[in-house]
Chains A and B, each alone.
Chain A
Amino acid sequence: MPTFDQLETANLATELTSPEASRAARTIAVTSPASRNGSAQESLLGGRSFSSGIQPTENEGALAPEDAASPATSTIAVAMSGGVDSSTVAAILHERGQSIVGLTMQLWNQRRLPELQGDGPRQHRCCSLDDVYDARRVAEHLTIPFYVINFERQFEQTVVKPFVQDYLNGRTPIPCTRCNNDVKFEQLLSTARQIGADKIATGHYARVRFNAGTNRYELWRAVDDSKDQTYFLFGLTQAQLARAEFPLGEMKKQEVRSIARRLEVPVAEKPESQEICFVPSGSYVRFIESYLREKGSERDVGPGGMKLGESGEIVATTGEVLGRHHGLHHYTVGQRSGLGISVGRPVYVVALDRERNQLVVGDDAELRSSICEVRDINWIPFESPDAPVHARVRIRNRHEPAEAEITPLTPTTAQITFHEPQRAITPGQAAVFYADEKVLGGGWIV
């Protein structure tokens, strides 16, 4: 009877014959070169073995661009969400012959808060099994190594809890920015470096440039202005920017789709998702209520206590009581509909007064303001300035940046004075400062 010892251990690793792949440090064992863009099945059967030549790198902190990824020597981790953008990033880098590894973050367990799962067809959300499956399919298609990493604990602490707390405190948060700052470009980047990658590439529409004159990394708006995501990336530090790669920043969305089609990326036709990934069908109020109910049952309400806001008064800026609200977390500054009051003229939410549990409403003029304060500022092309800075400031994602003076109060706080009053400056949102296409920095509106 033949035994293992008698077996000839055949070396299956057939090095890819394409020149790009040969330049890459990593060689992928496949049965034939054809299977690279052919069926993943074939390469799987062929003893899919990724002989990664990833070498430990000793670079710490910010690295100069010459140390940054060059295809021949380094590996880039691609944050793959299962969507078309990050999938295409993986495909583009792979086509360039870059050594890559796909990482998908498991951020939220959709089995939690089951009452939020509707009966209708499942929406594509981050961390739904469908999206992890899609990301995996793309990685299989490209025959790149792929791993799902569990960040549920970290995501809840650094993104979900602050999100809920912000709403309870009368602010309107941007969880995506926190996720970028504290999860994607912090914990995932750290994991990527631990497993031997030098940089992390994402599907964000933004550009990173190194300015040799100032010796600093700069963040620039995407070429496709309609897709620009720098508003969500203002918090990236020099060390984070040094290790970030945004291949889509130079492209138009249509180009991305057509590249996805040309490279036969399995999710090329997948619709885009605009939702907050952990909030099903956009109902953040229901999410907050379910989350607090779950936390209440665990007797874990977190620091400072998280308690659902109670009903209170709706008042005019004059102090006149106009009606009652359902709890401040239902409202956001600038909101007009859903107030349930009728005063014979259009009224908007002007402020959320947590101290008095009052919802302050007023007319359009009262919604406009020229001044606001920001905190936790991150300056990008320079250290925090001593003198006022002129910039165009964006106060929400789709807001057209407006001319303003930014007067530093401390190294991380400033007062912003707009040339023209701005509508609905909302605490909890970010104010991001631009000089033309360059992002100067940003902070959180107080």
Chain B
Amino acid sequence: MQSNRQLFGGVGHSPQAGQPSRVYLDYNATTPVDPAVLDAMLPFLGSNFGNAGSVHTPGQVARAAVDAARDSVAALLGASPNEIVFTSGGTEADNLALFGAVAASTKARKHVITTAIEHHAILHSCEELARQGIDVTVVPVRNGSDGQGIVDPEEIRRAIRPETVLISVMHANNELGTIQPIEEIARMASDAGVCFHCDAVQSAGKVPLDVKKLGVDLLSISAHKFCGPKGVGALYVRAGRQISPRAWGGHAERDRRAGTENVPGIVAIGAAAEIARARLAEDALRLSALRDRLENTLLERVPHVRVNGDRSRRVPNTSNLSFPGAGGEALLIALDLQGLACSTGAACSSGSTEPSHVLLAAGLSHDDARSSLRFSLGRPSTAEDIDRAIEIVPSVVARIRALSPREQETAAHAR
């Protein structure tokens, strides 16, 4: 526990003067576990080790904790506890939703609609569905200055066919932070009698979530995006909505997700949900003010910065900026070496040479996508973090621009 507290403490601003400290502005990637969440889950890694499926008292202790966590998660989402299925995280929740809903449909021909800015947990699942013979439509998003990175519900409406069995649209985009018009799309789906899934992994804990108000059938969340641990998530399944399981082997989660319950993880997502619900309004206000200060100051101090994604319809913690003339990969590394952690839409080492599919779908040029950085704030973020970022970023951008061959060529052309 001590070491974890240290890790958590290490994220914040160092109190010791003269010591450059780490500033973490990549909370959309993951968040530290809230100490209260850790305190809640630890007993279930220790003395309370019972199997929630066991009849005896240790089992009952575990079962009670799982039930309480289910209440907490349900409360965060405005759902009933029996509508919550715990999973190993957001990706599994998304997979269970897509494959489970498609498999549960009895239609002879099946068609799925999603959008171009979804997370790979959705898009790669849809590619697999397509390989299995399911028709998939990927609708584009708006890319003008108004509504950039936001789905046009009319595009969804046009894509609906008689054989459409599922529409999946994310709530908040992980890279741009843009919030999608879920209520409107869910209403269309409902009118057409089509199951609607929403990947809310990036909005849970950032903006209010009410599954009834949104009108969704299925909704995915992941604990580690709101100060819970990695390895646990949940899928909301509206009462009466059938999904076929993707794993078999017992009756856990009302037959929708077999496997011994991850009791410590489930307790943790419950605790994280409680805290998120209690602090949501306050966090949102505070983080959006910090985010706006960061963004506005960088716009002032760094020439030719562009904000990506509709600024008026974003989660409060995310800022995606392009720094033309500087490569995102070099920016990311240089900032990291200066102690600032963020992320980029430039190609990453792990695979494709193409920049982020989200940024390209939102209409960014390859160059703008390659020069993009995402700053995402979280509950531990402080004004000092933003001060440090504002201090570090402009000089790093200036240096990289000065040393980038392309920039020199452009400058030569200008002369």
Q: Do A and B bind each other?
A: yes
Q: Which residues of A contact B (CB under 8 A)?
A: 1-4, 7-13, 29, 45-47, 49-54, 56, 101, 104, 106, 109, 132, 145, 147-150, 152-153, 190-191, 193-196
Closest Cβ neighbor of A12 among chain B residues: B10
- B353 touching A153, Cβ below 8 Å: yes
Q: Which of A51, A148, A152 lies in contact with B22, CB distance below 8 A? A: A51
Give the residue name and chain of the B residue nearest to A106 (CB): B349
B349–A148 contact, CB under 8 A?
Answer: yes
Interface on B for A, CB 8 Å cutoff?
Answer: 3, 5-16, 19-22, 34-36, 39, 275, 279, 326-327, 329-330, 333-334, 336-339, 347-349, 351, 353, 379-380, 395-396, 399-400, 403-405
User: Are A190 and B3 in contact (CB-based, < 8 A)?
Assistant: no
Say whether B19 contacts A4, CB under 8 Å: no
Contacts of B8 in A (CB 8 A): 7
Expressed in whole angstroms, the Cα–Cα distance for A166 and B324 within the complex equals 35
Knowing A148-B349, A194-B327, the reply to whether A13 touches B21 (Cβ < 8 A) is: yes
A9 contacts B333, C-beta separation under 8 Å: no
Extra inter-chain contacts (17) besides given A9-B14, A132-B349, CB under 8 Å: A2-B39, A4-B35, A7-B5, A7-B35, A9-B10, A11-B9, A11-B15, A11-B19, A47-B6, A47-B10, A50-B337, A51-B21, A145-B336, A150-B353, A153-B353, A194-B334, A195-B330
CB of B334 within 8 A of CB of A150, answer no
Cβ of B399 and Cβ of A49 under 8 Å apart?
A: no
Contact of A145 among B14, B20, B326, B337 (CB under 8 A): B337
Residues of A within 8 Å of B403, CB to CB, are 190, 193-194
How distant is A146 from chain B, measured CB to nearest CB, in Å? 10
Q: Are A2 and B12 in contact (CB under 8 A)?
A: no
CB <8 Å contact, B379 and A4: yes
Residues in B whose Cβ lies below 8 Å from that of A104: 349
Check if A9 sits within 8 Å of B336, measured CB to CB. no
Chain A residues near B347: list those with CB within 8 A. Answer: 150, 152-153
A56 to B275, CA, bound (A): 42
Q: Report the separation of the CA atoms of residues A54 and B380 in the bound assembly, to the nearest whole angstrom.
A: 26
Of B11, B329, B379, the contact of A149 (CB 8 Å cutoff): B329
CB-defined contacts of A8 to chain B, threshold 8 Å: 9
Q: How far is the CB of B406 from chain A (nearest CB, A)?
A: 10
Q: What are 18 residue pairs bridging A and B, where the CB atoms are less than 8 Å apart in the complex?
A: A3-B279, A4-B379, A9-B10, A12-B10, A45-B3, A46-B6, A47-B6, A47-B7, A47-B10, A51-B20, A51-B22, A52-B338, A152-B347, A153-B347, A191-B330, A195-B334, A195-B337, A195-B400
CA gap between A342 and B326 in the complex, in Å: 60
- Measured between beta carbons, the chain B residues less than 8 angstroms from A12 are 6, 9-10
Q: Which residue of B lies closest to A10 (CB)?
A: B9
Q: Which of A45, A150, A153 has the most CB of B within 10 A?
A: A150
A44 vs chain B, min Cβ distance (A): 10
State which of A3, A7, A50, A194 has its C-beta within 8 Å of the C-beta of B399: A194
Residue in chain A with minimal CB distance to B10: A47
Cα(A50)–Cα(B404), bound, Å:
25
**Contact A9 to B9, CB < 8 A, known contacts A194-B404, A195-B330, A196-B334:** yes
B349 touches A2 (CB 8 A): no
B6 partner residues in chain A, CB cutoff 8 A: 10, 12, 46-47
Known A-B contacts A9-B14, A12-B6, A195-B333; A190 and B404 likewise in contact (beta carbons under 8 Å): yes
